Amino acid sequence: MLSKALGLPADELVIDLEDAVAADQKDDARERVAGFLSRERSVGAAIAVRVNALASPWGERDVVDLLRQAGRWIDSLIVPKVERPEDIEEVERLLNAHGDLASGVRLQALIETAAGLLHAAEIAAASSRLEALILGYADLAASLGRAPGMMAPGSWLYAQEKVLVAARAFGLQMIDGPYLEIRDDEGLRLRVEHVRALGFDGKWAVHPDQLAIINATFTPLAGEIARARAVLEALEHADERGAVELHGEMIDEASRKLALQVIARGRAAGVEGTAG
C-alpha cells in the first residue's frame, strides 16, 4: 500500500500510525514506516506521518524513531486530537532537540475534540513549524455526542468556520477531514464543494477512488483563471482609481487578492487557463 501510494495523484500522502493501527502493532508499524521512507522515498507528493499523541505510550517513540531513521524524508508530522497549544509545543520541543534531523519537519494539527475546537486560535498560534489545521469529524462527533449520520454538508458549519478563521488568522492552510463513505461519490462531491466554497485549501481522501472528485473540485476551471487574470489586468491599468468596473462589476483591492488566490491554486494544480 505504501509503495502504491507514491504513485497516486495526491498533493500529500498521510501515513497513519494512530487510529488505523492496533495497539499491539504500533511498534512494528513505526519500524515499517521508517524503513520504507528511508529506502524508497521518491520525489513527488509531500510525505506526512500521523503520529500517536505524546500522552499515549507510543507518541514520543513515534517522533524520536522517525526522526532518527527517516527525518530527512518526512515533510510534516500530524499531531492528533490536539486540544491545547501545549500539545503542539511538546512535539516542537522534541523536534528542536534533534537539530538537523528535524530541521525540515513541519507540523499539522488535527482538531477533532470539543476542547480542540474551543482552543483553535491558541493552537494555530502555538508554533512557527505549524503549517495546517485539519478538521476531523469522526472523533469530533464522538466528543460532542452527535447522533450517527450527522454528516450533512451544512451540519458542521460552526466547527468549519471556527477552525477556518483560526487557520487564516495565523497564515495556515485549512484542510477538511475525510468522508468515510467511500462508495458515495455524490455525497463526497457535495461535501467537497461545500468546504471549497467556504475557503478550505483541500480535503483528505481515505480511498484512491475519492481523489478524482477532490482534485477536480479544488482545481480552478480555465474560465475562473481567465477571469482572475482579467481582474488583475483591469486593476493594473486603473491608474490612481482604487476601484474600476469589469463586465458590469465593481472590482477593487479585495478582488485582486481573490484573483491572486485563484491564479495560485491553478498554478499549483498545473492549470494555466486561457486569456480573455
Does 275 reside within a domain?
no
Cell numbers for 253, please give them: 483591492
Say how far residue 209 (Cα) sits from the centre of its chain.
Answer: 19
Same-domain status, 51 and 122: yes
Q: Is residue 144 over pLDDT 90? A: yes
In which domain, by residue range, is 259 found?
Answer: 222-268
pLDDT at position 53: 95
Does 273 reside within a domain?
no
Q: Is residue 275 over pLDDT 70? A: no
Same-domain status, 59 and 131: yes
Residue 164: Cβ within 10 Å count: 21
Same-domain status, 258 and 135: no
Q: What's the structural domain count of the chain?
A: 2
Same-domain status, 203 and 246: no
> Could you report how far apart the first and last alpha carbons of the chain are, in Å?
44
pLDDT at position 274: 45
- Given a contact cutoff of 8 angstroms between Cβ atoms, the answer to whether 213 and 202 are in contact is no
Same-domain status, 150 and 32: yes
Same-domain status, 47 and 131: yes
Say how far residue 248 (Cα) sits from the centre of its chain.
Answer: 36
Q: Is beta strand 244-246 parallel, antiparallel or unpaired with respect to 106-111?
A: unpaired
Same-domain status, 6 and 131: yes
Rama region for 94: left / alpha / beta (φ>0; ψ in -120 to 50; rest): alpha
Does 15 reside within a domain?
yes
Distances, alpha carbon 47 to alpha carbons 14, 128, 215, in Å: 6, 19, 18
CA angle centred on 34, ends 31 and 40, rounded to 5°: 125
The last residue of a domain, from among 218, 240, 258? 218
Segment 145-159, tens digit of pLDDT: 998 766 777 889 999
Does 206 reside within a domain?
yes
Same-domain status, 171 and 231: no
Q: Which residues of 82-111 are buried (b: 16+ CB within 10 A; e: fewer)?
A: bbebebbebbbebbeeeeebbeebbbbbbb
Same-domain status, 134 and 246: no
Same-domain status, 166 and 250: no
Q: Model-level pTM?
A: 0.88
Segment 166-204, tens digit of pLDDT: 999 999 999 999 999 999 999 999 999 999 999 999 999
Same-domain status, 112 and 177: yes
